[in-house]
């Protein structure tokens, strides 16, 4: 009980940091960027409008909060959906809006602290497939009860399959399933740092694109490089 009382707030903090706070930071950068070229005043106004809508969504979907991580998932998902609702009319098409939000998320995640933490994790499992599986499994467990996944291993590598996804369920219920691809960019952030010469693994991007052509699929193939 004491351990869970400590882990719960930490897990909530992690997802709020990597989710909603990262998205907020990335959006502020994106709103002022070349796609929309907003002034500082416009950025503040749009951010305020997104924050208001996100708050309404968090109230309406409060029953989705079943454990500390899901509270962070809901905050990130609500901010993503609210940003879509506010910004979609300003962008050319649905795909452009999804790309804009995905880029904003990636920019928000890509901090010095995140890169350092990722580098340490990758270093600890370089050329050690079994250790990589242990670490990845432990990280995925922090997603809580509203997300489920499995790792399938074969002779050439391993594939992470997301079998239950908070974001897929949340966005589908709001008729915007395409937004799940924007939140999937977090996994890409993890795996893009793989260097076969340094770690013994590589993210198979071509296979990833083929496996995820169906919007309901969430699979991330990692190839093990043999010396």
Q: Which residues contact 100 (CB under 8 A, 6 or more apart)?
A: 30, 35, 87, 91
- At 156, list the tokens: 């050439």
Cβ-based neighbour number of residue 45 at 10 Å:
14
| Alpha-carbon distances of 188 from 60, 69, 89, rounded to whole Å | 30, 20, 27
Q: Which residue in this structure is represented by tokens 């070349």? A: 34
Q: Specify burial of residue 220 (Cβ count, 10 A radius: 0-12, 13-18, 19+).
A: buried
Print pLDDT tens along the chain (227 aa): 444 444 555 455 555 556 677 788 889 889 998 889 999 999 999 999 999 999 999 999 999 999 888 888 899 899 999 999 999 999 999 999 999 998 888 887 777 877 888 888 888 888 888 888 888 888 788 888 998 988 888 777 888 888 899 999 999 999 999 999 888 877 777 788 888 888 888 888 888 777 777 656 788 888 877 54
pTM score: 0.84
Q: What is the pLDDT of residue 3?
A: 42
Rg (CA), the chain: 18
pLDDT at 114: 78
């Amino acid at each position: 009980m004491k351990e869970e009382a400590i882990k719960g707030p930490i897990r909530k903090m992690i997802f709020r940091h990597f989710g909603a706070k990262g998205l907020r930071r990335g959006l502020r950068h994106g709103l002022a960027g070349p796609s929309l070229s907003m002034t500082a005043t416009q950025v503040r106004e749009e951010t305020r409008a997104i924050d208001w809508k996100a708050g309404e969504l968090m109230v309406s979907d409060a029953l989705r909060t079943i454990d500390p991580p899901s509270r962070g998932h809901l905050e990130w998902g609500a901010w993503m959906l609210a940003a879509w609702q506010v910004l979609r009319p300003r962008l050319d098409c649905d795909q452009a809006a999804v790309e804009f939000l995905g880029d904003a998320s990636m920019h928000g995640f890509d901090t010095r602290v995140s890169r350092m933490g990722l580098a340490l994790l990758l270093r600890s499992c370089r050329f050690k497939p079994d250790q990589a599986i242990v670490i990845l499994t432990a990280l995925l467990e922090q997603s809580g009860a509203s997300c489920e996944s499995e790792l399938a291993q074969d002779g050439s590598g391993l594939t992470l399959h997301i079998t239950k996804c908070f974001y897929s369920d949340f966005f589908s219920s709001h008729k915007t399933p395409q937004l799940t691809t924007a939140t999937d960019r977090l996994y890409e952030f993890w795996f893009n740092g793989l260097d076969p010469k340094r770690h013994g693994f590589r993210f198979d991007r071509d296979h990833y694109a083929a496996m995820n052509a169906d919007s309901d699929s969430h699979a991330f193939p990692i190839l093990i490089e043999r010396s």
